[in-house]
């Protein structure tokens, strides 16, 4: 593609542009027509969004090289403008302020992506435990005793929307985890005592749910 930033591409009706899991290095702007963004959840396919003229998508491939998180399919004949990663990054690099904004937006998008992943878990308790395990593994600061200090200021008000539940419900679940000696809270810091134990507990909760139904 060389230095060109936008190249036009036409899709026929129901043409798959990319599939979930594909590696890509282009993002797209819709000039006309529609694009359905579809994701597989278990055995079901869910339509996450229907995008139309003026919408852009596929930006994470350009920004941080991540694989496609969903499938994109055209609805009717659709015209796109494609943006190549190398040309796009070169243009961004020419403007330090734009580069800063894009970097900040990337961080926000990653957080939103993470939030969606947790919210897709149906059970409140499992959602909270999955959040704590992920935070410990990805951002936790390992302590000498093998526990993990989570690197953010913990508050019920801050965590409740991330795990998609009310503050009272969250307090009850956190209390249970503290009583089970799986986590502890000091000031505004949350400590996961032992990630393996927490993973075991998550398996126990899943089994319990399975047999209680």
Q: Show the 3-state SS of 53-113.
A: CCCEECHHHHHHCCCCCCEEEEEEEEEEEEEEHHHHHHHHHCCHHHHHHHHHHHHHHHHHH
The stretches in the chain having pLDDT less than 50 are 1-3
Same domain, 98 and 200: no
How far are the Cα atoms of 37, 68, 87, 125, 147 from residue 46, in angstroms, in the given order?
9, 15, 33, 24, 38
Q: Is the distance from CB of 195 to CB of 148 less than 8 angstroms?
A: yes
Amino acid 4: pLDDT: 55
- The structural domain count of the chain equals 2
Classify residue 140: in a domain, yes or no: yes
Classify residue 155: in a domain, yes or no: yes
Q: Which helix (H) or strand (E) holds 17?
A: strand 16-18
Amino acid 2: pLDDT: 45
Amino acid 51: pLDDT: 95
Q: Which of the 8 DSSP states describes residue 29?
A: E
Q: Which one of 90, 116, 142 terminates a domain?
A: 116
Same domain, 21 and 106: yes
Q: Which one of 116, 133, 166 terminates a domain?
A: 116
Give residue 195's domain range: 122-212
Same domain, 112 and 126: no
Amino acid 67: pLDDT: 86
Amino acid 105: pLDDT: 81
Same domain, 99 and 171: no
Q: Which one of 82, 100, 116 terminates a domain?
A: 116
């Amino acid at each position: 593609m060389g230095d060109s930033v936008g190249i036009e591409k036409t899709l026929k009706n129901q043409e798959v542009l990319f599939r979930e899991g594909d590696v890509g290095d282009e993002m797209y702007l819709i000039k006309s027509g529609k694009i359905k963004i579809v994701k597989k959840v278990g055995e079901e396919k869910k339509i996450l969004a229907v995008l139309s003229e003026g919408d852009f998508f596929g930006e994470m491939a350009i920004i941080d090289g991540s694989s496609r998180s969903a499938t994109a399919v055209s609805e009717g004949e659709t015209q796109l403008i494609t943006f190549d990663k190398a040309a796009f990054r070169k243009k961004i690099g020419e403007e330090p302020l734009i580069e800063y904004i894009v970097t900040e937006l990337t961080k926000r998008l990653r957080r939103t992506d993470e939030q969606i992943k947790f919210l897709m878990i149906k059970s409140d308790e499992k959602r909270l435990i999955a959040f704590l395990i992920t935070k410990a593994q990805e951002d936790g600061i390992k302590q000498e005793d093998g526990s993990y200090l989570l690197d953010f200021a913990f508050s019920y008000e801050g965590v409740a929307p991330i795990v998609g539940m009310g503050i009272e419900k969250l307090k009850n679940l956190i209390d249970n985890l503290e009583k089970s000696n799986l986590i502890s809270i000091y000031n505004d810091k949350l400590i996961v005592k032992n990630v393996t134990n927490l993973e075991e507990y998550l398996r126990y909760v899943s089994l319990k749910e399975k047999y209680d139904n």
